[in-house]
Amino acid sequence: MPDEHRLEEKFLSQEAEKRISEKLDEAEKIDIDIQTDLLKIVQGQADGVSVAGQGLVIKEGIRIQEIKLQTDSIAINPFSALFGQIELNEAVNAIARIVLTEVDMNLALASDFVSSQMQNFDFDVDGEIVSFEPQKIQVFLPGEGKIECRGRLLLKEKGNTRPFAYTAVLRPRTHSQPAMLESFNCTEGDGISIELVTALMQKAKELMNIPSFKWEEMAFKIKDIKVEKGSLILLVETQVKQIPSSITELSL
């Protein structure tokens, strides 16, 4: 009987791997394990779904070094499951471990897709609206829990537009400590006012302390961030309303 169950699991897992692989530009390795058996499928149940991938290239060249995801027990559509497609009847909780390398992060930041997603940031500084238009961002991961950012932007204030460049070193929020800004230096331009720095720091604090965020049919909560030399490791809790049909939705 266990062997029969494994045959069912292998069939469903292989079909799911095939469907997701078709959505990827490239994948060094992708393994999907659907933990269930025929009786549970008929009853619309599965003990869980796990996903493990390495070197996944998704939307417009964006690359993820590693992802591991495991769901709780789930309620599924039994008819779609028989054809290797998992459709959820109820939301399910999952936990994911995502590894991003410094090289891949910078390639993503320079991609057309990310550039098109970058928006101007507006700040109210003593009743006056000041805008930042991002031009270029680079990230460096020197280790010791630090992230160094180097960027260039256009600063629009009082009817004037001027270039501004900076370097910043920060420590991201973890389960044991709040986000910390170690240094911020202007490397191009005439500098910025104390009032604008205060507004920037307040906005950065708000962004870094967002408890959760949503993407498509998934809600994410970052539980922990670990910065190593050359790589960033995220531990993320998710609530999934639907298993995405593409790894793009799954990994973002």
Model pLDDT for residues 210-226, shown as the tens digit of each residue? 666 665 556 778 888 89
Burial class (CB in 10 A: 0-12, 13-18, 19+), 250: buried
pLDDT, average across residues 126-145: 88
Pick from 248, 243, 252: nearest CA to 21: 248
Nearest residue to 153 via CA among 110, 111, 120: 120
What does the buried/exposed string (b/e) look like for 175-190 if buried means 16 or more CB atoms within 10 Å of the residue's CB?
Answer: eeeeeeeeebeeeeee
Q: What is the pLDDT of residues 12-57, one digit of tens each?
A: 677 677 777 777 777 888 888 878 777 777 777 778 888 888 988 8
Structure tokens at 156: 């629009």
pTM to 2 decimal places:
0.77
Q: What is the dihedral of CA 63, 92, 238, 21, to 10 degrees?
A: 0
Least-confidence region, from 138-152, 163-177, 195-209, 216-230: 195-209
Residue 46, classified by CB atoms within 10 Å of its CB into exposed (0-12), middle (13-18) or buried (19+), is: buried
